[in-house]
Amino acid sequence: MTFEGYFGDSYSMPLQMQLEPILADILASVALLLALVVAQLFVARSLKRGDELSDQAARRWAANFRNALVLIAAVGLVMIWAPQLRTFALSLTAVAVAIVIATKELILCLSGSMLRTFTRAYAVGDLIEIGSVRGEVLDYNLLGTRLKEFDPDEHSSVPTGREIAFPNSLLFLNTVRVQPKASAFKHHRVTMVFDADVDIFAMHERFKSTTEKILQQHGGGSPESTKRDSVEVRFSTTELGKYQVEINVDGGSANLQTIESDIVSEIGSLVHAEKPSLTPS
């Protein structure tokens, strides 16, 4: 036996084994259909020769017998080809499962986009927080959302200068907190901590007037700016017993980073000026 003949025979054996059941099903299907056709012809000829039946009754019997043959043919073909149909169905199922697994993230992103659209979760310009990400919505599409990142502090409206894109699939995994664009950039909080060696509680009005003066300077010095930008000063203590000052600025001022820096500088200078000077003994 030659090299080619040996391998040719060995490779042809599996192919023959696969074709034999298919050929048997084809022959069985042809035999079933031929038998049904012969039965249809025999019955139709018998009904035409029958003198005891009216034309209407003969047509009714012929129609009923033809429908019965069609049903028998359908059931017979399904039974004959059942193993092949089962194999084909399993193949389709395996392909469908593979497609779903391979495109799971894509399907989740598209589903997240539908969730955002149907629920109207957020729009361009809204300030949202999802997971540990917080920022202004710049754009979104079917797959993801792009944000202008803001400080993680929920009371801060200072951008970090970075942009973040996250997939819409995160909408199914995290709660989305939305601040409408009408009030998204209206509040900003400046927090400062001081040692407990100065009575900062008596400096409430000085803190407020200093902050209002800074806001008026950044607003162009107009009285309308001071009315628009309200200031609220709150005091508290930390877990270590230090004094904490929270200055809430409202009004949506544009340059919040500069305003925050000026407030920290001026308030810090006021507090340090009130500290008792240490004189040598």
Higher pLDDT, 138 or 151: 138
Task: Write out the residue range of the structural domain in which residue 41 sits.
Answer: 8-48+56-101
What tens digit of pLDDT does each residue of 52-93 get? 767 777 777 888 888 888 899 888 888 888 888 888 888 888
Residue from 222, 212, 229, 220 nearest 263 by CA: 212
114, 96: one domain: no
pLDDT at 167 over 80: yes
Q: Are residues 89 and 111 in the same domain?
A: no
Among 179, 211, 232, the domain boundary falls at 179
Residue where one domain finishes, among candidates 179, 198, 220: 179
Contacting residues for 72 by C-beta, under 8 A, at least 6 apart: 36
User: Torsion angle, CA of 227/231/232/235, rounded to 10 degrees?
Assistant: -150
> How many Cβ atoms from other residues are within 10 Å of residue 252's Cβ?
16
Distance CA 261, CA 243 (A): 20
95 and 118 co-located in one domain = no
Owner of token pair 């989740």: 108
Within-domain flag for 130: yes
pLDDT score for 86:
83
The residue assigned the tokens 């407030």 is 263
Residue 280 lies in a domain: no
Instruction: Say if residue 182's pLDDT is above 70.
Output: no
115 contacts 172 by C-beta, under 8 angstroms? yes
Mean pLDDT of 196-217: 81
281 part of a folded domain: no
| Confidence band for 186, pLDDT divided at 50, 70 and 90 | low
Range of 56-60, 161-165, 275-279 with top mean pLDDT: 161-165
User: What per-residue confidence (pLDDT) applies to 222?
Assistant: 47
Q: Is the model more confident about 197 or about 185?
A: 197
Residue 152 reports pLDDT greater than 80: no
The CATH number that applies at residue 234 is 3.30.70
The pLDDT of residue 82 is 85
Amino acid at 126: D
**3-class DSSP state of 107:** helix
At 219, the pLDDT band (50, 70, 90 cuts) reads low
Per-residue pLDDT band for 157 (boundaries 50, 70, 90) equals low
Percentage of the residues of the chain whose pLDDT score is greater than 70: 78
Judged against a pLDDT cut of 70, whether residue 183 lies above it is answered with: no
| pLDDT-based confidence at residue 207 (cuts at 50, 70, 90) | confident
Structural domains counted in the chain: 3
Task: Based on the fold, state whether residues 215 and 269 are members of the same structural domain.
Answer: yes
